[in-house]
Structure 1
Amino acid sequence: MPHHSPDHRDTMTNVLRFGYRVTKYDPADRDEQGRYIGDQDSTSDHGPIEAAYLEAVATFAAETGVQRLCIREPELSVINFGLEPTVPGHGLTGLFPDDLSGYHDGAEVPMKVWLELVRAMLRDNGAWCRLEAEHRFSVHVGYDQYLYIGSDQRCERAVTHTRALGLFPERIDRSPYGAETNEPGQRTPADDTFWGKVTALVATGRAGLLEENPIEGVSRWHRLDDGGIDRVRERLTPRARVAVWPSLSGDPVTVLASLSAHHLVQLVWEDQDGHVRATITDAPSPRVLDGARAATAISCVAGEQPPLLAAVLPDQDGVLRARWGTEPDQEHHRPVPPTP
């Protein structure tokens, strides 16, 4: 029998005036602590109840007067904490190209796409994001089929229609999964000053590798050697987080031999075709770097091996609108000199 307890963390920024929690769980079937103790399953039925969820959120959006929504803080699960197994493509197959271009922070998508994103989240397919029309509407999914909707309108017709669908819309002050008022991490813009520092580091041989995080849980790697900085910049995903690292070592055998057992690292290497690949491991196979031209290992322990530089890409007008931050880089790890 499922036991659901809503999370009451105070995390939403720009909270919309009217918030709703929409579920299939009858409030009459909750205990004194608000946990659901009824017999509804906590996974999607992939059928009429799921369809009711989608119709409900579409009705709220229509009454608010929005059709297109922006993707915010997209994620792909590395480890599945949901009750349903992840599926190939994380529920994004057919919605975006194979390289996931178009699935990034700030990307605007039509209703037929964002409704499918809601479906993927209801099914624990592995993809997750917030969907927003700034200052007007928001929707995202929590655990156990909890759907959170925010609007600048009261949406009384949508509330009535949602009840008629057999779901339970409840007024809430805010969502437990709303955007945090102070997103953790360093929020340095990847502006001309940042790229000037990158150029200097590459020119002096201190840097040669750039990590791009366009989606939480996804890293893409680029070599910066041989004047490749401008080419790399042209390929970066809007609003991605970027980190600059030292160059790959030309001695992959020594890199592999230096790894300690049970020490979680990100192993990065260049294959024979010139592609930079990576994997997170604490027990790499002795053959994982067979044929590699160059490699490096980066500790996954927070703060143990900070990047040389880290930043977040601003929009084309130079404004940093992405809410997420990066791990502190070496500049921000330097001790503050004592006051004379």
Structure 2
Amino acid sequence: MNVPMAGTGSPASSPQAHASGGGADKVLHVYRITKYDPADRDEQGSYVGPEDVYSDHGPVEAAYLAAVAAFAEETGITHLAIREPEVTGYVSFGAEPPIDGHGLAGLFPPDLTGYHDGALVPMAVALELVRAMLRDNGAWCRLHVEDRFFVHVGYDQYVYVGSALPCPHAVALTHHRGLFAEPINQSPYDPQLDEDDVGRRPADAAFWAELDALIIERGAVVLEERYVSNASRWHRITPDEVTAIRARLAPRVRLLVWPDLSTDVEAALAGLPDDGFAEIVWQNSQGHITSLTVDESNSPALPAILAAARAMMILSGWADEREPLMTAVLPDPDGVLRARWTP
């Protein structure tokens, strides 16, 4: 089945019935925190009451944040790790439209340095990330402390919290603030429910040696550094540039190797698919490489957008039609592959 290359990637929110917590072996106490009264659910568990699916950007949102903070405090959590970070892609499924900066402005620099898989953030930043997710600003991630705590934000104002402790005081505070903390067996955002990640290749010494040989054979290749889901940095690499570019890679990135850009821009544009849905990767006169997802709606503007392009390539907008030359995931400095990018 063809699916768009870009999207939120976040699963629909619904209670599940499995014993687990946050992707760790240790069983956690898991709660579904919502503004939806359980008395207003039908026999299938779907909410049929009067509450809408939007954040009020006010007291109800503040109650959600206070609930998350209370569970963290009762568990003894002061920092959380960002896992599987995303930003808005070509398609957004949120109830509210995303905003410029994805809700990350003021939390991270414009280039999103520090917003990556495994980044440790203080509780204050974690709560702002929860706020951005409740508002559908565009950013999404899991937040967790291995074996002890997690926070997952789903669609429609559903929040899932898992703790190594039952947290009766946090449950009471949640109810006092007008929300409902319902015990469930598993968050629907548990990483164990993700697609099987068999086939991930670490960007180890063997990968870099193979890449070196490929660059020598071809003269140059394009390296896509996917540092969060739906966002990439692009590097054109020649044999003498591998070491410098490798040193600048963000932690735990997914690496995709593509053929070199074509300097025949006119011919490259002629290769746009009939449906117009593609990603154009191009290099400007200063050597900077960027990309743009296009379809019929913005195709007429391409001549002006690409006026300064000196080289480019066209990639399909459909995930199962993209065939990089090589792929790998960057391991941690200790050599362990902890990022859960799918192949």
Could you tell me the TM-score, scaled by structure 2's length? 0.89
Contact 2:220 2:236 in 1 (8 A): no
Aligned to 1:289: 306
**d(CA) in 1 for partners of 2:257 and 2:279?**
14
Give the 5 Å matches for 1:310-325.
310-325=327-342
Aligned to 1:336: none
Tell me whether 266-275 or 199-208 shows the greater mean CA deviation.
Answer: 199-208
Give the superposition deviation at 1:82. Answer: 1.4
Give the 5 Å matches for 1:213-252.
213-252=226-265
Aligned to 1:337: none
CA change 1:83–1:76 in 2 (3 A) is: same
Mark the runs of 5 or more structure 2 residues left unpaired by the alignment: 1-11
Contact 2:30 2:185 in 1 (8 A): yes
Does residue 36 of structure 1 match 2:47?
A: yes
Give the superposition deviation at 1:183. Answer: 3.7
Give the superposition deviation at 1:181. Answer: 5.0
Q: What residue identity is the alignment partner of 2:24?
A: N
Tell me whether 107-116 or 206-215 shows the greater mean CA deviation.
Answer: 206-215
Aligned to 2:7: none
**d(CA) in 2 for partners of 1:182 and 1:175?**
12
What is the identity percentage for the equivalent residue pairs of Structure 1 and Structure 2?
53
- Corresponding residue pairs, total: 323
Aligned to 2:283: 270
**d(CA) in 2 for partners of 1:324 and 1:141?**
19
Give the 5 Å matches for 1:204-215.
204-205=217-218, 207-215=220-228
Tell me whether 14-23 or 87-96 shows the greater mean CA deviation.
Answer: 14-23
**d(CA) in 2 for partners of 1:206 and 1:309?**
16
Contact 1:9 1:176 in 2 (8 A): no
Could you tell me the TM-score, scaled by structure 1's length? 0.90
Aligned to 1:8: 16
**d(CA) in 2 for partners of 1:211 and 1:7?**
36
CA change 1:111–1:259 in 2 (3 A) is: same
Q: What residue identity is the alignment partner of 1:246?
A: P
Contact 2:212 2:239 in 1 (8 A): no
Contact 2:80 2:122 in 1 (8 A): yes
Q: What residue identity is the alignment partner of 1:230?
A: T
CA change 1:176–1:217 in 2 (3 A) is: same
Tell me whether 225-234 or 310-319 shows the greater mean CA deviation.
Answer: 225-234
Q: Report 1 or 2 for greater relative contact order, CA contacts < 8 Å, sequence distance ≥ 6.
A: 2
CA change 1:42–1:302 in 2 (3 A) is: closer
Give the 5 Å matches for 1:190-201.
190-201=203-214
**d(CA) in 2 for partners of 1:9 and 1:289?**
51
**d(CA) in 1 for partners of 2:194 and 2:187?**
15
**d(CA) in 2 for partners of 1:116 and 1:5?**
21
Tell me whether 174-183 or 120-129 shows the greater mean CA deviation.
Answer: 174-183
SS of the residue aligned with 2:192?
A: coil
**d(CA) in 2 for partners of 1:65 and 1:45?**
29
Aligned to 1:128: 140
**d(CA) in 1 for partners of 2:182 and 2:283?**
52
Does residue 302 of structure 1 match 2:310?
A: no
**d(CA) in 2 for partners of 1:86 and 1:303?**
26
Tell me whether 37-46 or 311-320 shows the greater mean CA deviation.
Answer: 37-46
Contact 1:207 1:245 in 2 (8 A): no
Aligned to 1:54: 65
SS of the residue aligned with 1:295?
A: strand
Give the superposition deviation at 1:208. Answer: 1.0
**d(CA) in 2 for partners of 1:107 and 1:63?**
23
Q: What residue identity is the alignment partner of 1:289?
A: L
